[in-house]
Structure 1
Amino acid sequence: MDWKTLQSLLSGVNKYSTAFSRIWLSVVFVFRVLVYVVAAERVWGDEQKDFDCNTRQPGCNNVCYDHFFPISNIRLWALQLIFVTCPSLLVIMHVAYREERERRHRLKHGDKCARLYDDAGKKHGGLWWTYLLSLFFKFVVEIVFLYILHTLWYGFSFPRLVQCAGVSPCPNTVDCYIARPTEKKVFTFFMVGASAICIVLTVCEIFYLISQRISRSLRGVKRKGAALHSPSSSRASTCRCHHLLPAHGGEEGANLGKGAEALRASAPNLTLI
């Protein structure tokens, strides 16, 4: 896997992300991807070779190893990192779609025409929903992989001795020993802790986005109510009425106009309604 390419792609998410998402991305690359590449691969690199069982039965070591480790930790974490980081690319794709749509709109109608988007990367409309759905997807993926890891290894624990019983072709009960169980347990708890931090950050960002959307909607409702009850609207209607007075056709309209001017001259403080 080319982690540099993935990092360069995800770095563009920072342009359209909140503070919570920037912290999440830092935690992923510093405490998960970096630890995975530098240390975790080496810790689990010899897990099958050094998985020793007290039998010479051909194939028993492989069968017992597959029985206790149906999926390697290192490969499971690689899948988890891929599934967790890929939803962020949906945001970049949506922004790119908006920019392309804006470009075609400019080519068709010219630069003097009004823009489709004030800011293509601003989280409004469909982009807000895309961003929120990506957060929900990341949250679900983290929970599912933690559940799988907890179920496969009985609570993230690595015992020194495991017993392989009733598994063909192993005779009777076979004792097998895991290589460097303490070191693997430490790294497992570290990765689980980093995953838990990412879950907390994702939940915080979900609540932040929803609360921000609600407050923005409430402010919009207040502004509309203030505009409807503003005294400027009544003044505007009065002014329109004044302008409409001389607009009557024929002699009747001219007489009305003259009568209004006479009233203004005789009583300058009088206001026509």
Structure 2
Amino acid sequence: MDWKFLEGLLSGVNKYSTAFGRIWLSVVFVFRVMVYVVAAEHVWSDDQAHFDCNTLQPGCKNICYDYFFPISHIRLWALQLIFVTCPSFMVVLHVAYREERERKYQAKHGADRHLYDNPGQKHGGLWYTYLISLLLKTAFEITFLYLLHYIYDSFKLPRKVQCDVSPCPNLVDCYISRPTEKTVFTYFMVGASVFCVVLNICEIFYLITIRLVTLKKRGLVHTSSIMKVRRNLD
């Protein structure tokens, strides 16, 4: 998987993010993508090859592995990283749309005329786009955490599992390779994901608070203007 391509796309998101968004992006690349690429992939690379069962029955080992690991942790995390980063592109596309409108407006009315004070400023439709992207990222994070826990019934990998699925002749003991190391990486990735959820929630409250404060200031200014007009009329 080409993570450099994903990093190049997300680098544009950093320009339009709040402080919470920049921290989130750093956590995703330093504590999730880099750990995934540098270490986690290698830890799970021999997962199926070193999944040993105390039977020589043909097909039993493969069936038991598929039963206990319907989808690998690595592939699930790869999907999770793709899904949680994709909503950020909504913001980049919205800003690009604004910049194109600005270019056409200036071409028609002159370079000194502006349709937007700053195409990347989070107001109007872009504010809603940014908020929706945060809600989607949070929803995807929580969904994948639930899936990981639901599929494996725990974040901790057992040392031994017992399988009696056909064509296994009886109850077979199977042993997972490096269960402690894999459990450590699983908890680390889960912890990083939970921290990203917390950052997203903080950013959502931050955006809403700033929005309410701005609207309140505008309301006070509008009320003050009306009062001045009334005093002048009196």
Q: Which residue of 1 aligns with 2:59?
A: 59
> Which secondary structure does the structure 2 equivalent of 1:94 belong to?
helix
Unpaired segments ≥5 residues, structure 1: 239-273
Output the TM-score relative to the length of structure 1. 0.83
2-structure distance, mates of 1:201, 1:173: 46
1:210-249 to 2 correspondences below 5 Å = 210-230=208-228, 234-235=231-232
User: Which protein shows a greater Rg?
Assistant: 1
CA distance in 2, matches of 1:132, 1:91: 10
* Structure 2 partner of 1:36: 36
* 1:156 partnered with 2:177: no
* 1:87 equivalent in alignment to 2:87: yes
The CA deviation string for residues 202-243 of structure 1, in whole angstroms up to 9 with x for no partner, is: 000000001111111011000000011126x644x59xxxxx
**TM-fit CA distance, 1:122:** 0.2
Q: Which amino acid aligns with 2:204?
A: I
Q: CA deviation at 1:111?
A: 2.5
Distance (whole Å) between structure 1 residues aligned to residue 112 and residue 4 of structure 2: 41
Tell me how far 1:112 sits from its aligned partner.
4.3
Matches within 5 A, 1:9-20: 9-20=9-20
Indicate the SS of the match to 2:87: helix
Specify which structure has the bigger relative contact order, considering alpha-carbon pairs within 8 angstroms and separated by 6 or more residues: 2
Any idea what the Cα deviations from partners look like across 1:115-170, whole Å, max 9, x if unmatched? 211100000111000000000000000000000111112220111110002x1111
Tell me, which stretches of 5 or more residues in structure 2 are unaligned? Answer: none
Aligned residues: 234
Name the amino acid aligned to 1:104. K
In 1: Cα distance, 2:106 partner to 2:21 partner: 32
1:252-263 pair list within 5 angstroms = none
Structure 1 counterpart SS, 2:46: coil
Counterpart amino acid of 1:80?
Q
Name the structure 2 match of 1:261: none
What is the aligned-residue identity percentage? 65
